[in-house]
């Protein structure tokens, strides 16, 4: 039986990102993916939000995505466009880039990191024992791993087999989404009418028509057909525009559910396997990539036995509330997209509010995940928040903080007297650098904060400890996040 330290199920955006994170930490990781290639049929995510661009920047691969897509003020909330150019981040915008390309770039990166992908094979089942997990594949072979991570999408077999509950809200609306040819041109653009929301656009690559139509009944199940699309169009527009020759037809709803637990022993969930919701706001892929970046370095340390398995519980305690917030904001967006007179009145008031700076910035930071704050206790406002990408001066010359995270290793930046910090037994695990920075420390929504004397930055870019002149609590923080001083 082939063995790996970690087996990931699913080479979607979440599984690929997690594989990259583990490979950077020199963990023997493999992915099992039922698709035979990275090709994606149809359309899903349309881009990346600011915090995702930042985490890719932390790994030195943001440029690959920025070069392939189009930067712009694309953050939206219930179809209200929110300018975020005044938020304090190097990437104060979103990136329009189809999921197909996002996956391709991530897959190339994972390939460079030499992660094996078992393609064209499905994970059928698994059994876990005290020391590992046996994973049964559809080709009759099996794998053994210390940990198994289900990044296998909203219908996750791993989640179901682990018996993890998936509570939430049933669908209230259903859309058919398709790429087709038409005889008669529809009115291009987004439409909100008494039947719901709909959209038509000409696809630049192949001249096909991309369409989204709200179904008038909710009781459909399974994959839709061309005649379902035709019926849905006719019910709304009185014509089906002569739709024919579909290359892709699918259905999605506003069902919102979240895994009750992100970990069960040696099995973990990330991405859509852990949370599904309505796509408005474009947060699903982004949340999955950020789950992966939270989990990767923790799992790597547990596998290397430098940290106890209980570190993995912080993955649930930090990421579950983030996705719960995403579900909540998508429920609100669905309500605001309804098309009755009362909702229209509510939209007018919402538009007024979002025209004001503070509400606009709050919602833009929420959708772009720049506001994520892990609860690491009371203290300096930086604690638990993302480290800003400052330009600091060091003995090696000027450096951007995010370039120091490329290796996915923790970073202790000392802005106090050079040489005043000592980390003895952690020196092999944590990078320690004396730095100078005279500019402002600004956080999204918080504004300017007191410059710290030192900061301990986790590999995911979140601040784990903030030092003042007394430097109290550093050994405890190092132990909590990077293991006991003399761990293996």
Ligand X SMILES: Cc1cc2nc3c(=O)[nH]c(=O)nc-3n(C[C@H](O)[C@H](O)[C@H](O)COP(=O)(O)OP(=O)(O)OC[C@H]3O[C@@H](n4cnc5c(N)ncnc54)[C@H](O)[C@@H]3O)c2cc1C
Q: Which residues bind ligand X (CB under 6 A)?
A: 9-15, 32-35, 44-47, 99, 122-123, 151-153, 157, 177, 252, 271-272, 279, 282-286, 288
Provide the minimum distance between the beta carbon of 9 and ligand X in the complex, in angstroms, as a whole number: 5
Residue with tokens 């952690």: 426
Provide the minimum distance between the beta carbon of 245 and ligand X in the complex, in angstroms, as a whole number: 21
Provide the minimum distance between the beta carbon of 157 and ligand X in the complex, in angstroms, as a whole number: 4
**Count of CB atoms within 10 A of residue 364's CB?**
29
Phi/psi at 463 (5° precision): -85, 125
Cβ-based nearer residue to ligand X, 202 or 400: 202
Provide the minimum distance between the beta carbon of 200 and ligand X in the complex, in angstroms, as a whole number: 15
Residue with tokens 């050079």: 418
Question: Cα separation of 413 and 52, whole Å?
Answer: 23
Cβ-based nearer residue to ligand X, 318 or 434: 318
Cβ-based nearer residue to ligand X, 50 or 453: 50
Provide the minimum distance between the beta carbon of 179 and ligand X in the complex, in angstroms, as a whole number: 12
Q: Which strand (E) or helix (H) includes residue 411?
A: strand 411-414
Question: How far is residue 213 from each of residues 196, 234, 240, measured CA to CA in Å?
Answer: 8, 10, 11
**Count of CB atoms within 10 A of residue 403's CB?**
12
According to DSSP, the residues that pair with 142 across neighbouring strands are 136
Provide the minimum distance between the beta carbon of 246 and ligand X in the complex, in angstroms, as a whole number: 15
Question: How far is residue 295 from each of residues 122, 158, 412, 454, 473, measured CA to CA in Å?
Answer: 23, 17, 20, 25, 24
Question: Cα separation of 177 and 232, whole Å?
Answer: 11
Cβ-based nearer residue to ligand X, 120 or 379: 120
Question: How far is residue 246 from each of residues 178, 187, 209, 213, measured CA to CA in Å?
Answer: 7, 19, 9, 15
Cβ-based nearer residue to ligand X, 124 or 432: 124
Cβ-based nearer residue to ligand X, 279 or 467: 279
């Amino acid at each position: 039986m082939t063995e790996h330290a970690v087996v990931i199920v699913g080479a979607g955006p979440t599984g690929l990102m997690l594989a990259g994170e583990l490979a950077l930490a020199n963990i023997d990781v493999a992915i099992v993916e039922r698709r035979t290639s990275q090709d994606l049929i149809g359309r899903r995510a349309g881009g990346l939000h600011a915090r995702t661009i930042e985490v890719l920047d932390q790994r030195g691969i943001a440029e690959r995505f920025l070069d392939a897509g189009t930067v712009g003020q694309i953050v939206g909330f219930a179809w209200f466009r929110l300018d975020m150019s005044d938020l304090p981040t190097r990437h104060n915008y979103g990136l329009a880039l189809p999921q197909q390309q996002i996956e391709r770039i991530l897959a190339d990166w994972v390939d460079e990191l030499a992660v094996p992908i078992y393609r064209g094979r499905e994970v059928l089942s698994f059994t876990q024992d005290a020391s590992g997990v046996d994973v049964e594949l559809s080709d009759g072979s099996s794998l053994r791993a210390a940990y198994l991570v289900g990044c296998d999408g909203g219908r996750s077999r791993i989640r179901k087999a682990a018996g993890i509950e998936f509570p939430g809200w049933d669908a209230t609306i259903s859309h058919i989404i398709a790429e087709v040819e038409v005889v008669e041109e529809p009115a291009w653009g987004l439409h909100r009418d008494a039947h719901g929301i709909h959209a038509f656009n000409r696809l630049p690559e192949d001249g096909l028509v991309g369409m989204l139509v709200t179904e008038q009944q909710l009781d459909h199940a399974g994959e839709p057909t061309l005649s379902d699309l035709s019926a849905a169009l006719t019910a709304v527009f009185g014509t089906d525009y002569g739709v024919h020759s579909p290359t892709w037809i699918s259905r999605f709803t506003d069902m919102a559910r979240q895994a009750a637990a992100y970990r069960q022993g040696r099995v973990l969930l990330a991405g859509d396997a852990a949370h599904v919701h309505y796509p408005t706001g474009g947060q699903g892929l982004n949340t999955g990539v950020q789950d992966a970046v939270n989990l990767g370095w923790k799992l790597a340390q547990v596998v290397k036995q430098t940290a106890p398995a209980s570190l993995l519980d912080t993955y649930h305690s930090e990421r579950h509330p983030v996705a719960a917030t995403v579900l909540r904001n998508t429920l609100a967006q669905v309500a605001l997209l309804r098309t009755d007179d009362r909702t229209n009145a509510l939209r007018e008031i919402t538009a007024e509010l979002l025209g004001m700076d503070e509400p606009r910035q709050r919602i833009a930071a929420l959708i772009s995940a720049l506001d994520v704050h892990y609860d690491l206790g009371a203290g300096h406002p930086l604690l638990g928040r993302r480290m800003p990408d400052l330009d600091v001066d060091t003995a090696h010359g000027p450096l951007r903080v995010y370039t120091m995270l490329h290796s996915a290793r923790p970073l202790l930046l000392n802005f106090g007297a050079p040489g005043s910090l000592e980390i003895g037994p952690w020196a092999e695990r944590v990078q320690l650098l004396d730095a100078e920075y005279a500019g402002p420390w600004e956080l999204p929504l918080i504004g300017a904060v007191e410059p710290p004397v030192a900061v301990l930055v986790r590999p995911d870019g979140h601040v784990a400890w903030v030092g003042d002149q007394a430097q109290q609590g550093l050994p405890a923080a190092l132990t909590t996040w990077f293991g006991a001083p003399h761990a293996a």
